[in-house]
């Protein structure tokens, strides 16, 4: 019984670890993408006219908003998958333990009748 309990906890810990790794990778990728796209920042600092400044700012805002949208979508995917996986593991563990308890109860009841 202890072995099954340890296996269930091990699966849950792995389930928690996976999204942490995925979020770390997502954060690194997003930061790299933002750093790569900061070439537009040079345009902002070198603008001579107000319309050039506005165009550079709009371009920079567009790039960062697109990156934020990608980040949000991926973060939600990671979160939903983690919750779903944890729910499956938890449900399976509860089902196994309930079946085992029912079986033990039936065995105890049948011995009392004898």
Confidence of residue 12 (pLDDT cuts 50, 70, 90): confident
Find out whether 90 and 15 touch, Cβ atoms under 8 Å: no
Tally of helices (H runs) and strands (E runs) in the chain: 3, 0
pLDDT tens-digit profile of 53-97?
898 888 888 989 999 999 999 999 999 999 998 888 888 888 888
Contact 40, 60 (CB under 8 A): yes
- Among residues 21, 18, 63, which one has the least CA distance to residue 40? 63
Q: What are phi and psi of 48, to 5 degrees?
A: -100, -30
Domain coordinates in residue numbering, the chain? 2-113
DSSP 46: T
CB atoms under 10 Å from CB of 15, counted, come to 19
């Amino acid at each position: 019984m202890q072995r099954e309990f340890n296996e269930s906890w091990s699966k849950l810990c792995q389930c928690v670890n996976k999204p942490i790794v995925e979020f770390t990778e997502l954060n690194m990728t997003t930061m790299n993408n933002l750093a790569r796209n900061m070439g537009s920042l040079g345009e902002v600092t070198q603008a001579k006219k107000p319309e050039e400044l506005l165009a550079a700012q709009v371009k920079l805002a567009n790039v960062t908003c697109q990156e934020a949208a990608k980040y949000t979508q991926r973060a939600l995917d990671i979160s939903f998958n983690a919750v779903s996986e944890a729910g499956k593991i938890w449900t399976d563990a509860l089902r196994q333990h309930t079946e085992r308890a029912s079986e033990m109860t039936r065995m105890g009841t049948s011995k009392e009748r004898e």
